[in-house]
A = this chain, B = another copy of it.
Amino acid sequence: MVKRNPNMAKLQSGYLFPEIARRKNEFIKKNPNAKLVSLGIGDTTQPIKPHITKGLADEASRLGTKEGYSGYGAEQGLEELRDRIAEKLYNGAINGDEVFVSDGAKPDTARLQLLFGSNVSIAVQDPSYPVYVDSSVILGQAKGYNQKKSQFGGIEYMKCVPENNFFPDLEKTKKTDIIFFCNPNNPTGAAAARGQLKQLVEFARKNKSILVYDSAYSQFISDKSLPKSIYEIEGAEEVAIEISSFSKPIGFTGVRLGWTVIPNELEFEDGTKVNKDWNRIMTTLFNGASNIAQRGGLAALDKKGMKEMEQTVSYYLENAKVIMASMEKLGYEVYGGIHAPYIWVRVPGKTSWQAFEEFLGKANVVTIPGVGFGPSGEGFLRLSSLGNRQDVDEAVKRIERSLK
Supposing A269-B4, A292-B255 touch, asked if A285 and B110 sit within 8 A by C-beta, the answer is yes
Q: Is the CB of A8 within 8 A of B280?
A: yes
Q: Tell me which residues across on chain B come within 8 A of A109, comparing CB atoms.
A: 285
Q: Is the CB of B72 within 8 A of A46?
A: no
Contact with B along A96-125 (1 / 0, CB 8 A): 000000011011011100111111100000
Q: Is the CB of B291 within 8 A of A255?
A: yes
Q: Is the CB of A5 within 8 A of B117?
A: yes
Q: Tell me which residues across on chain B come within 8 A of A41, comparing CB atoms.
A: 72
The 8 Å CB contact of A284, one of B4, B44, B134, is: B134
Q: Tell me which residues across on chain B come within 8 A of A378, comparing CB atoms.
A: none
The contact size tier of chain A is: 35 or more
Supposing A140-B118, A283-B18 touch, asked if A277 and B208 sit within 8 A by C-beta, the answer is no
What is the CA–CA distance of A64 and B116 in the complex, to the nearest angstrom?
39
Chain B CB within 8 A of A184 CB:
no
Q: Tell me which residues across on chain B come within 8 A of A65, comparing CB atoms.
A: 47
Q: Tell me which residues across on chain B come within 8 A of A255, comparing CB atoms.
A: 63, 290-292
A335 shortest CB reach to chain B, Å: 25
Q: Tell me which residues across on chain B come within 8 A of A61, comparing CB atoms.
A: 53, 57
A106 shortest CB reach to chain B, Å: 5
Supposing A1-B269, A63-B47, A107-B285 touch, asked if A253 and B138 sit within 8 A by C-beta, the answer is no
Closest to A67 in B: B47
Chain B CB within 8 A of A92 CB:
no
Chain B CB within 8 A of A311 CB:
no
Q: Tell me which residues across on chain B come within 8 A of A45, comparing CB atoms.
A: 69, 71
Chain B CB within 8 A of A288 CB:
yes
Chain B CB within 8 A of A209 CB:
yes
Q: Is the CB of B281 within 8 A of A138?
A: yes
Q: Tell me which residues across on chain B come within 8 A of A296, comparing CB atoms.
A: 60
CB within 8 Å of B: which A58-96 residues = 59-61, 63-66, 68-73
Residue with the highest number of chain B CB atoms closer than 10 Å, among A138, A267, A270: A138
What is the CA–CA distance of A120 and B5 in the complex, to the nearest angstrom?
9
A159 shortest CB reach to chain B, Å: 24
Chain B CB within 8 A of A145 CB:
no
A45 shortest CB reach to chain B, Å: 7
Q: Is the CB of B2 within 8 A of A120?
A: yes
Chain B CB within 8 A of A135 CB:
yes
Q: Is the CB of B72 within 8 A of A48?
A: no
Q: Is the CB of A53 within 8 A of B46?
A: no
What is the CA–CA distance of A286 and B256 in the complex, to the nearest angstrom?
10
| New A-B pairs, 16, CB < 8 Å, besides A53-B63, A255-B290 | A1-B268, A5-B117, A6-B117, A8-B115, A8-B280, A45-B69, A47-B68, A63-B255, A103-B256, A106-B285, A110-B111, A114-B138, A135-B285, A138-B284, A256-B290, A290-B293
Closest 8 pairs between A and B when the two form their complex, measured CB to CB: A53-B64, A5-B117, A110-B285, A4-B268, A254-B291, A57-B60, A56-B60, A71-B253
Question: What are 6 A-B interface contacts by the 8 Å CB criterion?
Answer: A8-B277, A60-B292, A71-B254, A103-B287, A106-B285, A110-B114
